[in-house]
């Protein structure tokens, strides 16, 4: 069975959770969490590295023991240590961790103090008022748990885009090798670059005798076959991801791709336009009476209703049809438009590579510049920089720039925005930097008015350049803090500073709707990787997908500028 990086990371994360619930040594717990992050963020396939004979202990935080466990997982699909932990703890206890804001520490308390082992027991305890008396909980937390369990019970499992991409890529490559297959494309929300994906819709064209359906249902990662037919099959992978495969005729491929890409509301609007012209549009083509008049390509489908091709990322029925009709569709940004990356971390704080490593990796990808933006001192968990350490790094970057060619390293900081709107470092240090990225890393639960005013005051600071991950959300882990984003965007316009679109797959923050809002208000967005190692630079592709969903064009993005064009834009905010 193919093993993906996400599978290994999930096993290590579960081990860390179970160890913490048991009360194991925190250093041991942290080692598994760091390993999960290293593997999960790795841009190369672990299985491929092993096949090439590469030493996994060269990876950050991976020693002999963890390397052995990775090899065991790749070879067997299992980890004996996780199996051991499952026998030592109640089997359903990991389900408790799926409830928002209920981490291992709180699960440990619930388990040891109230013997809560299942979601049902958790719900009853919250309903009966037994949780509020526990240390670290309270009535408000108890009510939040009650609501979260109710929401979780009715929720459909979704996968982060970057995780779904691992399974989609492997399956597409597998299907392309089947005799007789031609086109293999993933449609649905995955093609529209939604931040999370509920399932995968794959379309295939193939020769009549191709065994593609039989090979699909026999795929090693398939756990359950929901249905199997000559033109459509549906399976559940071992990861829990549902995949539907459709065999489509070449003459209908464009119509099917348009139909199954969605969104539903976009497709309804397109069919309505067709009906106004006496046409019937479905997954088989565009029909005038009984005659198919289009459908081989997506372009042909849109042409029949008087529209140009609409990129998949825009197909949400949020004005794209009106824009297409008026000839105002944006020329969406592409990955190759980016000239640099303005948010990177190194070993000086919580990164895993040196400044030089990051610079060379960026140069290999064709970038002209990067900005090193470590955490500031208040973020102690990330070993944030105090003024003295930051000044030392400034000197280090100056020396490195004198040595390097083909890439320029800009001096920056990701400085904490304090509760009162102040910044975590003095002006005497900030004024020596090329850019200052302000970030909220604490007090996420402030009321909307206070959170908004906090950020607005920070943006008034004379050295403030950019607002990092502006809503603070972590997908499926932490909801965005409550903030008036329109006021933030208009403040950025007035102040002449910028907003970040953080491309890390767990963030993708700005939201697509906020990207569109920034564009309309004339505020430039910077698409940054927030890289903590050299391979994280590849996360920029997910940021590009989010930017395209937000209608952003090349000119709307700060770091599409050359270094010569960028410097005065940064200077005007300082």
Q: State mean pLDDT over 120-124.
A: 85
Query: Using alpha carbons only, what angle is made at residue 99 by residues 511 and 381, rounded to the nearest 5 degrees?
Result: 70
Backbone angles phi, psi at 52, to 5 degrees: -85, 0
- Region of poorest pLDDT, from 51-55, 289-293, 337-341: 51-55
Number of C-beta neighbours around residue 135 at 10 A:
7
Asked whether the predicted pLDDT for residue 1 surpasses 70, the reply is no
CATH 3.20.20.140 residue ranges of the chain are 335-571
- Cα–Cα dist 313/324, whole Å: 14
* pTM of this structure: 0.82
Question: What pLDDT does residue 357 have?
Answer: 96
CATH 1.10.150.110 residue ranges of the chain are 5-154
Q: Is 528 helix (H, G, I), strand (E, B) or coil?
A: strand
Class of domain 159-247: alpha beta
Residue range 88-116, pLDDT digits in tens: 887 778 788 888 778 888 888 898 888 88
Asked whether the predicted pLDDT for residue 561 surpasses 70, the reply is yes
Structure tokens at 565: 């064009």
pLDDT category at 508 given cuts 50, 70, 90 is very high
Q: Does domain 5-154 have CATH number 1.10.150.110?
A: yes
The 3 state secondary structure assigned to 408-425 is: EEEEEEEEEECCCCCECC
Question: What pLDDT does residue 380 have?
Answer: 82
Q: DSSP for 480-523?
A: PP---HHHHHHHHHHHT-EEEEE--TTT-BS-HHHHHHHHHHT-
Q: State mean pLDDT over 170-189.
A: 96
CATH 3.30.460.10 residue ranges of the chain are 159-247
- Cα–Cα dist 493/573, whole Å: 11
Helices and strands in the chain, H and E counts: 24, 17
Strands 435-439 and 466-467: parallel
- Cα–Cα dist 545/542, whole Å: 5
Percentages (nearest 5) of helix, strand, coil residues in the chain = 50, 15, 35
- Which of 70-79, 158-167, 376-385, 392-401 has the highest average model confidence (pLDDT)? 392-401
Radius of gyration of the chain (CA): 25
Q: Does domain 252-325 have CATH number 3.30.210.10?
A: yes
Q: Is 544 helix (H, G, I), strand (E, B) or coil?
A: helix
Residue range 2-15, pLDDT digits in tens: 788 999 999 999 99
Residue corresponding to tokens 């295939």: 204
Beta bridge partners of 243: 200, 235
Q: CB within 8 A of 340, min separation 6: which ones?
A: 362, 367, 368, 369, 370, 371, 559, 563, 566
Strands 340-344 and 291-294: unpaired
Contact call for residues 50 and 71 (beta carbons, < 8 A): yes
Residue range 252-294, pLDDT digits in tens: 999 999 999 999 999 999 999 999 999 999 999 999 999 999 9
Contact call for residues 563 and 408 (beta carbons, < 8 A): yes
- Cα–Cα dist 537/533, whole Å: 8
Residue range 424-470, pLDDT digits in tens: 999 999 999 999 999 999 999 999 999 999 999 999 999 999 999 99
Give CATH for domain 335-571.
Answer: 3.20.20.140
């Amino acid at each position: 069975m193919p093993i993906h990086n996400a599978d290994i990371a999930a096993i290590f994360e579960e081990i860390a959770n179970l160890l913490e619930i048991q009360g194991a040594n925190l250093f041991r717990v942290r080692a598994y969490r760091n390993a999960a992050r290293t593997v999960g963020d790795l841009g190369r396939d672990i299985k491929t590295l092993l096949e090439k004979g590469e030493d996994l202990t060269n990876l950050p935080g991976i020693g002999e023991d963890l390397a052995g466990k990775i090899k065991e997982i790749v070879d067997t699909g299992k980890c004996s240590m996780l199996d051991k932990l499952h026998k030592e703890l109640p089997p359903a206890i990991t389900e408790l961790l799926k409830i928002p804001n209920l981490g291992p520490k709180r699960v440990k308390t619930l388990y040891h103090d109230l013997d809560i082992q299942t979601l049902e027991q958790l719900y009853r305890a919250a309903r009966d008022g037994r949780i509020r008396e526990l240390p670290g909980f309270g009535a408000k937390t108890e009510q939040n748990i009650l609501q979260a369990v109710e929401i979780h019970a009715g929720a459909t499992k979704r996968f982060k885009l970057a995780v779904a991409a691992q399974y989609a890529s492997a399956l597409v490559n597998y299907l392309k090798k089947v005799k007789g297959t031609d086109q293999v494309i993933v449609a649905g929300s995955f093609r529209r670059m939604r931040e999370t994906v509920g399932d995968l819709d794959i379309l295939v064209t193939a020769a009549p005798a191709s065994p593609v359906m039989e090979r699909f249902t026999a795929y090693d990662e398939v756990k359950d076959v929901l249905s199997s037919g000559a033109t459509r099959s549906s399976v559940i992978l071992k990861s829990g991801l549902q995949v539907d495969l459709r065999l489509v005729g070449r003459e209908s491929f464009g119509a099917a791709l348009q139909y199954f890409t969605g969104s539903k509301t976009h497709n309804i609007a397109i069919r309505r336009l067709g009906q106004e012209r006496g046409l019937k549009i479905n997954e088989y083509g565009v029909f005038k009476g009984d005659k198919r008049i289009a459908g081989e390509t997506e372009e042909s489908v849109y042409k029949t209703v008087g529209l140009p091709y609409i990129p998949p990322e825009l197909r949400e029925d949020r004005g794209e049809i009106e824009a297409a009709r008026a000839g105002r569709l944006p020329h969406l940004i592409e990955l190759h438009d980016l000239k640099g990356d303005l948010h990177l971390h190194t070993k000086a704080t919580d990164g895993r590579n040196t400044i030089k490593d990051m610079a060379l990796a960026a140069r290999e990808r064709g970038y002209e510049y990067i900005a090193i933006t470590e955490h500031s001192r208040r973020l102690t968990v990330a070993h944030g920089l105090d003024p003295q350490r930051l000044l030392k790094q400034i000197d280090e970057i100056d020396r490195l720039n004198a040595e390097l060619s083909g890439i320029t390293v800009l001096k920056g900081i990701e400085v904490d925005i304090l509760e009162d709107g102040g910044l975590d470092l003095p002006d005497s240090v900030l004024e020596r930097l090329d850019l200052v990225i302000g970030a909220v890393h604490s007090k996420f639960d402030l009321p909307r008015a206070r959170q908004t005013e906090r950020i607005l005051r920070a943006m008034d600071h004379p050295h403030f350049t950019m607002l990092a991950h502006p809503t603070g959300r972590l997908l499926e882990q932490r909801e965005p803090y409550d903030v008036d984003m329109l006021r933030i965007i208009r403040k950025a316009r007035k102040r002449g500073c910028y907003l970040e679109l953080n491309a890390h797959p767990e963030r993708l923050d700005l939201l697509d709707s906020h990207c569109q809002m920034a564009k309309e208000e004339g505020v430039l967005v910077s698409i940054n990787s927030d890289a903590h190692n050299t391979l994280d630079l590849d996360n920029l592709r997910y940021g590009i997908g989010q930017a395209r969903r937000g209608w952003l064009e090349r000119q709307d993005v700060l770091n599409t500028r050359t270094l010569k064009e960028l410097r005065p834009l940064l200077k005007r905010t300082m």
